[in-house]
Structure 1
Amino acid sequence: MPYALHSGTRMPRHAPLAMAALTCTLLLAGCAENTTSSTTADSENVAHIKIPDKVKASTTITVGAPDIQVALKLSGQLDKLPFKVKWANISGGPQCSEAFRAHALDVCSSAEIPSIHAHWTGLDTKLVAARFREDPLKHPVYELGIAPGADIDTLADLRGKKIAYSPGQAQGALVLRILAKAGLTKNDVRLVELPSTGDVYPTALGSHQVDAAPLGGVNIKRYPAKYGKDGGKTIQHGLRDDPAHLWAPTESVRDPQKAAAVREFIGFWARAEVWIDRHPERWIDGYYVKDQGLTREDGAYLVKQNGHPDIPADWTPAIARQQKTVDLLAKETGQKKFDAAILFDRRYESVAADAIAEAGKPR
Structure 2
Amino acid sequence: MTSPSLLDRRAFLSATLGAVTLGLTACAGDETPAAALAATAPLPQAVPKGTRLVIGDKEHQKAIEFSGEAEKLTFDVEWANISGGPQTLEAFRAKALDVGSVADIPPIHSHWTNIPTKIVASKYRQDPLNHAIYRLGIAPGVTVATLADLRGKKIAYSPGQAQGALVLRVLKKAGLAKKDVKLVELPSTGDVYATALASRQVEVAPIGGVQIKRYESKYGRDGATAIAHGLRDDPGHLYAPVTVLGDPAKAAAIREYVQAWARAWRWREANPDEWIERYYVKDQGLTADDGRWLVENGGVADIPADWTEAIGRHQETIDLLAKETGNKPLKAEDLYDRRYESVGADALAAGGTR
Q: TM-score, normalised by structure 2?
A: 0.88
CA apart distance, 1:201: 0.4
Q: What is the one-letter code of the residue matched to 1:66?
A: K
Q: What is the one-letter code of the residue matched to 1:339?
A: K
Match of 1:204 in 2: 196
Correspondence for 2:272 among 280, 285, 290: 280
Correspondence for 2:286 among 282, 294, 297: 294
Is 2:119–2:238's contact at 8 Å kept on the other side of the alignment? yes
Distance in 1, Cα, partners of 2:235 & 2:95? 25
- 1:164 maps onto 2:156 in alignment: yes
Match of 2:62 in 1: 70
SS in 2 for 1:306: coil
Match of 2:301 in 1: 309
CA apart distance, 1:176: 0.2
Is 1:57–1:84's contact at 8 Å kept on the other side of the alignment? no
CA apart distance, 1:158: 0.6
For the structure 1 residues 234 and 251, does the alpha-carbon distance in structure 2 shift closer, same or farther, using more than 3 Å as the test?
A: same
For structure 2, the 5+ residue unaligned runs are: 1-36
- 1:252 maps onto 2:228 in alignment: no
- 1:104 maps onto 2:96 in alignment: yes
Q: What is the one-letter code of the residue matched to 1:265?
A: Y
For structure 1, the 5+ residue unaligned runs are: 1-44
Correspondence for 1:83 among 57, 70, 75: 75
Deviations 1:166-212 (A, max 9, x none): 00000000000000000011111110000001111011111110010
Match of 2:181 in 1: 189
CA apart distance, 1:243: 0.2
Q: Describe how 1:1-363 pairs up with structure 2 within 5 A.
A: 46-359=38-351
Is 2:57–2:80's contact at 8 Å kept on the other side of the alignment? yes
Match of 2:30 in 1: none
Distance in 2, Cα, partners of 1:109 & 1:206? 30
**Greater gyration radius:** 2
Count residues with an aligned counterpart: 317
Distance in 2, Cα, partners of 1:296 & 1:80? 30
SS in 2 for 1:273: helix
CA apart distance, 1:150: 1.7
**Once superposed, what is the RMSD of the aligned Cα atoms?**
1.2
CA apart distance, 1:46: 5.0
Distance in 1, Cα, partners of 2:48 & 2:343? 19
Is 2:52–2:78's contact at 8 Å kept on the other side of the alignment? yes
CA apart distance, 1:83: 0.8
SS in 2 for 1:319: helix
Match of 1:16 in 2: none
Is 2:262–2:345's contact at 8 Å kept on the other side of the alignment? yes
CA apart distance, 1:274: 0.7
Deviations 1:114-152 (A, max 9, x none): 111111111111110000001000100000000112221
CA apart distance, 1:321: 0.2
Distance in 2, Cα, partners of 1:109 & 1:295? 25
SS in 1 for 2:118: strand
Match of 1:41 in 2: none
Distance in 2, Cα, partners of 1:162 & 1:274? 40
Q: What is the one-letter code of the residue matched to 1:295?
A: T
For the structure 1 residues 164 and 52, does the alpha-carbon distance in structure 2 shift closer, same or farther, using more than 3 Å as the test?
A: same
SS in 2 for 1:224: helix
CA apart distance, 1:360: 6.0
Q: What is the one-letter code of the residue matched to 1:327?
A: D
Is 2:39–2:246's contact at 8 Å kept on the other side of the alignment? no
CA apart distance, 1:50: 3.1
Q: TM-score, normalised by structure 1?
A: 0.85
For the structure 1 residues 173 and 129, does the alpha-carbon distance in structure 2 shift closer, same or farther, using more than 3 Å as the test?
A: same
Distance in 1, Cα, partners of 2:135 & 2:107? 23
Give every structure 1 segment of 4 or more consecutive aligned residues whose post-TM-superposition deviation is greater than 4 Å. none
SS in 2 for 1:66: coil
